């Protein structure tokens, strides 16, 4: 295997949002042997940079579910290879539906994440995934004109609420407007630009690096990992993965709490 593409939350990271030592060791060893490390995550580019810095590794990131593809060196962006923003019409439609649904939206751009709360009681679930955002409290009416003028643009819209039935209903409404979405967690429903997902970003990256997808081993646990797992030469689902992920994966490994990434990656280390 020449490249390892690994999701963060629920996969590389434990439930506290940290990289277990065993996983960090395995990725460093893979890198030392000439392999390429790619962090494929729903998290923002800023958060992906921080994880690379913690690992003391250089590599690539497919951030915001593949909307932002970049080379990371010494914890900083060395080169942006590709980025995809959501068209204003889609952003406005999705925000309008979120307002009617009464959920919170976190809209991610390169430098910050705008949080727009339409929930009367701010019925949100705190988690390491939430903590990674660089949040700025915002109001939809303040952003509307800037979105219209394309003064701001977003890589990803993330919708959250502790009442998951609201997210299920919202997803149905988005589909009626021909807006695709995927779950990165049971409490997080996310929208990217049309055609953007981790699989498409991974295909772009392997082409850029003159690699074959058959030379990729990919790890994931949630719906937003499906496209990446489906096209990779070796696809690994975590023990804690969603049923749909386990169904498409070639192999099942231990949970993220038990360093499941390292458990499999060791097989490819000299």
Distance (Å, whole) CA 62 – CA 43: 9
Show the beta-strand stretches assigned E in 41-75: 59-63, 68-73
Long-range CB pairs of 45-50 (<8 Å, 24+ gap) are 45/70, 45/77, 45/110, 46/111, 46/132, 46/134, 47/8, 47/132, 47/133, 48/8, 48/72, 49/75, 49/76, 49/77, 50/75, 50/132
Q: Looking at 68-163, list the stretches that DSSP marks H as alpha helix, in order from N- to C-terminal side.
A: 88-101, 128-131, 140-148
Of 217, 219, 263, 223, give the one whose Cα is nearest residue 243.
223
* Domain residue limits, the chain: 1-82+195-266, 86-190
The CATH class given to the 1-82+195-266 domain equals alpha beta
Q: What is the pLDDT of residue 124?
A: 62
Axis crossing angle, helix 88-101 with helix 140-148, rounded to the nearest 10: 160
Please report the pLDDT score of residue 254 as a whole number: 98
Using an 8 Å Cβ cutoff, are 20 and 51 in contact?
no
Predicted TM-score (pTM) of the model is: 0.91
Cα distances (angstroms) measured from residue 221 to each of 106, 240, 241? 22, 7, 4
- Written as tens digits, the pLDDT of the chain (270 aa) is 999 999 999 999 999 999 999 999 999 999 999 999 999 999 989 899 999 999 999 999 999 999 999 999 989 999 999 999 999 999 999 999 999 999 999 999 888 899 998 875 555 666 777 777 778 888 888 888 888 888 899 999 999 999 999 999 999 999 999 999 999 988 999 999 999 999 999 999 999 999 999 999 999 999 999 999 999 999 999 999 999 999 999 999 999 999 999 999 999 897
Query: What confidence score (pLDDT) does residue 120 get?
Result: 59
The pLDDT score that the predictor gives to residue 110 is 83
CATH class of the domain whose range is 86-190? alpha beta
Burial bucket for residue 30 (CB in 10 Å: 0-12, 13-18, 19+): buried
Please say whether the beta carbons of 79 and 71 come within 8 A: yes
Q: What integer pLDDT is reported at residue 123 of this predicted model?
A: 56
Report the DSSP pairing between strands 135-137 and 156-160.
Answer: unpaired
The sign of the dihedral angle between the CA atoms of 49, 50, 51, 55 is positive
* 219 exposure class (CB count in 10 Å sphere: 0-12, 13-18, 19+): buried
């Amino acid at each position: 295997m020449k490249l390892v593409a690994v999701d963060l939350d629920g996969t590389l990271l434990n439930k506290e949002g940290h990289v277990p030592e065993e996983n960090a060791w395995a990725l460093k060893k893979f890198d030392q042997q000439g392999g390429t490390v790619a962090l494929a995550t729903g998290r923002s580019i800023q958060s992906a940079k921080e994880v690379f810095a913690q690992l003391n590794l250089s590599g690539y990131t497919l951030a915001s579910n593949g909307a932002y593809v970049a080379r990371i060196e010494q914890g900083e962006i060395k080169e942006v290879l590709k980025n995809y923003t959501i068209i204003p019409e889609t952003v406005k439609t999705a925000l309008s539906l979120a307002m009617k649904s009464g959920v919170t939206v976190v809209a991610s751009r390169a430098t910050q994440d705008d949080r727009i709360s339409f929930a009367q009681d701010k019925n949100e679930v705190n988690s390491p995934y939430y903590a990674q955002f660089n949040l700025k409290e915002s109001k939809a009416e303040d952003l509307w004109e800037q979105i219209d003028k394309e003064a701001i643009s977003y890589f990803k819209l993330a919708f959250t609420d502790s009442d998951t039935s609201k997210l299920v209903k919202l997803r149905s409404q988005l589909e009626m407007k021909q807006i695709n979405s995927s779950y990165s967690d049971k409490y997080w429903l996310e929208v990217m630009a049309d055609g953007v997902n981790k699989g498409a970003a991974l295909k772009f990256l392997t082409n850029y690096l003159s690699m074959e997808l058959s030379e990729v081993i990919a790890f994931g646990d949630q719906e937003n990992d499906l496209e990446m797992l489906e096209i990779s030469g070796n696809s690994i689902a975590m023990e804690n993965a969603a049923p749909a992920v386990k169904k498409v994966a070639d192999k099942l490994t231990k949970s993220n709490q038990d360093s499941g990434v390292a458990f499999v990656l060791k097989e490819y280390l000299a």
